[in-house]
Amino acid sequence: MISPQIKPGKIYDAIIIGAGHNGLTAAAYLARAGLSTLVLERREIVGGCCVTESIAPGCRVSTTSYIASMLRPEVISDLKLREFGLRMVPCDPAIQVPFLDGQVVSWWADRERAKAEFSKISAQDGETFVRVDDKLKKLARYLQPFFLEPPPEFDTRGAKGLTELFRVGKRFRKISNAEIAELISFLTGSLGEFLDHNYESEKIKTMFLANNVYGKHGGPYQPGTAIGLLFHLLSGGEHELQGFFGHVIGGMGAITQALANSGKKLGVEIRTEAPVAKIDVRNGRARGVVLEDGTEIGGRLVISNADPKRTFLKLTSPRDLPDDFVHAIRGIKMEGPCAKVNMVLGEEPRFTGTPAHYTPLERTFYTLVPSLEFAEK
């Protein structure tokens, strides 16, 4: 995946730090728009957390991320990812949680089937699920357009600030005051409090926890954790299905391999084993990067696919950034309540609560979740 050596003195239109799925997507779109684009990746492979790797002889697995969600159909189409080998099949059930008493709770794509499953545990929770699902899907549709637009800049003054307010206001012109209040509560509230308020069964709460605690920087009772309930109902997949979860044929690395190959065809240069030591900032603007081996590469635009703390506290000197911004970055929590362990087993695990007639595809995805209280610790 290493591209030819960079020509001395060449200045790129865009340099992207990190060849994760976001960085590769940005690179492909920039190259598609005609910009000379370079991606620098510290590892020997591209993909970031979206990779397929060998963990034992003859065993390749998705070592970090493992389910495709919110991969927009526009991206699949624009970058012709199917032509580069991307294939996904729906993950159904989307979530299965086994419990110590042997019962397995499954969240099926068909809502009536999901309701029937939940009603075996609590008839009230089965009815609540339908009501809450309607509400969440409607609110998620209000958020959907923002994922294909630049984020709003509310702190901008003058005419541009008014334009931003007008743009965002148009998106919410059909939303009621009550729905605005609900949307704000999901943006700021906690997952645990939402589940405690709406559901009575601990098993049902745990099942929803299994689908909404990934990627969180804090426990389920921390403010802002309820938003995952909406994120997982955003559209994705080739056919734009709301709440799409997909198994990727060939593992998650097939996504980033397709993105990398699409980008290379569009003119993207990718250099692996090229760790960036710092972003070169002069007079308040990024002018390029310096690699760990001392190589200097010029760029008119630098985009970081690294996390905010690494980007702004390590690759960039805090002296080049506003004090309040640096303070906010230092305050970001990076710890989370999840762990993923990759193992090679002698045979397929069998849960007593899983019916014998389930197909292999219906037996591929189980999540072990203790409780809301345990996750909070």
Same domain, 73 and 99: no
State how far the Cα of 74 lies from the Cα of 266, in Å rounded to an integer: 17
Mean pLDDT is highest, among 31-40, 132-141, 150-159, 232-241, for 31-40
- Cross-strand bridge partners of residue 12: 299
Same domain, 325 and 285: yes
Per-residue model confidence as pLDDT tens digits over 274-287: 999 999 999 889 99
Pairing of strands 88-90, 95-98: unpaired
Has residue 98 been placed in a domain? Answer: yes
> Counting beta carbons within 10 angstroms of the beta carbon of residue 294, is it exposed (0 to 12), middle (13 to 18) or buried (19 or more)?
exposed
Residue 263 belongs to domain with CATH number: 3.50.50.60
Residue 314 has what DSSP assignment?
A: I
Angle at 241 between CA 340 and CA 65, to 5 degrees: 15
Same domain, 112 and 38: no
Please state the domain count of the chain: 2
Instruction: State the amino acid at position 97 in one-letter form.
Output: V
Range 357-362 average pLDDT: 88
Per-residue model confidence as pLDDT tens digits over 54-111: 999 999 999 999 999 889 889 999 999 999 999 999 899 988 999 989 899 999 989 9
Same domain, 109 and 218: yes
Band of pLDDT at residue 4, cut at 50, 70 and 90: low
Band of pLDDT at residue 156, cut at 50, 70 and 90: low
The per-residue pLDDT for 158 is 61
The per-residue pLDDT for 161 is 62
pLDDT reading at 123 higher than 60? yes
Residue 289 in contact with residue 302, Cβ under 8 Å?
Answer: yes
Range 177-189 average pLDDT: 85
Same domain, 133 and 239: yes
Residue 300 in contact with residue 11, Cβ under 8 Å?
Answer: yes
User: Domain range for residue 273?
Assistant: 11-87+251-330
Band of pLDDT at residue 177, cut at 50, 70 and 90: confident
